[in-house]
């Protein structure tokens, strides 16, 4: 099963890119973030011919997440547990069947949190605590489980071309990185880091200041795998060339192949 995650920065603006990506890579599952539209504005008709089933948690203007799956999904969850008053559309989860078994896939758009300190940063840290609690509960089920998405976390200095630019940023501050590590300490595996310890691997390049042309990137899109999913990991790919397309998203897709 090929699972992809991609922050598209407006699904309406990126529809042609998405269709091209689906055609070229033929992933079984695609987790999308930053739809920037409500449920009824999601381009379902435009995706009709692709054969993907669609689960959406949209929101006006900001945020918004979706899962596309070739096979029908079950047990779709639209909220990250832990705060019933949280209205931001940043979480969607579904059980997806494969050839040999099922995988539960959570698609997340973790808050940016800038500036720090601020209420936004407090919200980010609280959201990470809720994700930690949810992951711990899922891990107790001892099944293949994947958290895929835009984490807005630079895990290590080598995950930034110029780490000194990020030392005061919510994506790289010590509390942010500590909470990311605490997810790993639960027993989750950073899929890309299971395949390589190389530096220079990025998933985001800012639109500004020629970041792409200078390769001034950061690695902030991740897939975390439960032990039962990690045991089945075959490969991880950053689909880097999409950043060079016309009118691209500032993020590129991350893709993992699981033997499921």
Partner DNA sequence: ATGCCTTGTCGCACAAGA
Residues that bind DNA (CB under 7 A): 7, 9-10, 12-13, 34, 36-37, 60-62, 111-112, 114, 120, 150, 152, 171, 204, 206-209, 218, 220, 247, 250-251
The residue (of 96 and 108) whose beta carbon lies closer to DNA is 108
Closest approach of Cβ 232 to DNA, in Å? 29
- Distance of CA 107 to CAs 120, 211, 244, Å? 21, 27, 25
The residue (of 5 and 226) whose beta carbon lies closer to DNA is 5
Cβ contact 126:136 at 8 Å: no
Residue 31: closest CA among 22, 20, 40, 44: 22
Closest approach of Cβ 60 to DNA, in Å? 5
Cβ contact 177:153 at 8 Å: yes
Cβ contact 67:92 at 8 Å: yes
Cβ contact 6:21 at 8 Å: yes
The residue (of 33 and 226) whose beta carbon lies closer to DNA is 33
Closest approach of Cβ 205 to DNA, in Å? 9
Closest approach of Cβ 207 to DNA, in Å? 4
The residue (of 144 and 248) whose beta carbon lies closer to DNA is 248
HSE-up (13 A, CA, CB side) for residue 23:
8
Closest approach of Cβ 129 to DNA, in Å? 18
The residue (of 171 and 233) whose beta carbon lies closer to DNA is 171
Closest approach of Cβ 75 to DNA, in Å? 27
Cβ contact 91:57 at 8 Å: yes
Query: How far apart (Å, rounded) are the C-alpha atoms in residues 9 and 109?
Result: 11
Q: Among positive and negative, which fits the CA dihedral 199, 184, 238, 38? A: negative
The residue (of 2 and 120) whose beta carbon lies closer to DNA is 120
Closest approach of Cβ 72 to DNA, in Å? 28
Query: How far apart (Å, rounded) are the C-alpha atoms in residues 127 and 90?
Result: 10
Tokens for 87? Answer: 């209205």
The residue (of 171 and 238) whose beta carbon lies closer to DNA is 171
């Amino acid at each position: 099963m090929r699972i992809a995650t991609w922050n598209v920065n407006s699904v309406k603006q990126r529809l042609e890119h998405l269709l091209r990506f689906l055609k070229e890579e033929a992933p079984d599952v695609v987790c999308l973030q930053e739809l920037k539209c409500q449920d009824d504005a999601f381009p379902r008709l435009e995706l009709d011919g692709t054969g993907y089933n669609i689960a959406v948690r949209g929101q006006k203007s900001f945020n918004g997440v979706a899962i596309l799956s070739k096979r029908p999904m079950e047990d779709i969850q639209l909220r990250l547990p832990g705060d019933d008053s949280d209205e931001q559309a940043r979480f969607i989860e579904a059980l997806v069947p494969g050839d040999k078994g099922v995988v539960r896939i959570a698609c997340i758009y973790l808050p940016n949190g800038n500036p720090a300190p601020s209420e936004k940063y407090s919200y980010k840290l609280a959201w990470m605590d809720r994700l930690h609690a949810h992951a711990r509960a899922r891990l107790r089920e001892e099944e293949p489980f994947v958290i895929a998405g835009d984490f807005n976390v630079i895990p290590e200095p080598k995950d930034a071309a110029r780490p000194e630019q990020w030392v005061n940023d919510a994506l790289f501050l010590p509390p942010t990185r500590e909470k990311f590590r605490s997810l790993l300490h639960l027993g989750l595996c950073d899929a890309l880091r299971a395949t390589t310890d190389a530096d220079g691997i990025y998933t985001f390049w800012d639109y500004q200041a020629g970041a792409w042309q200078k390769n001034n990137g950061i690695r902030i899109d991740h897939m975390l795998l439960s032990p039962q999913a990690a045991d089945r990991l075959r490969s991880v790919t950053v689909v880097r060339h999409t950043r060079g397309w016309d009118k691209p998203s500032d993020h590129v897709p991350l893709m993992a192949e699981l033997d499921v």
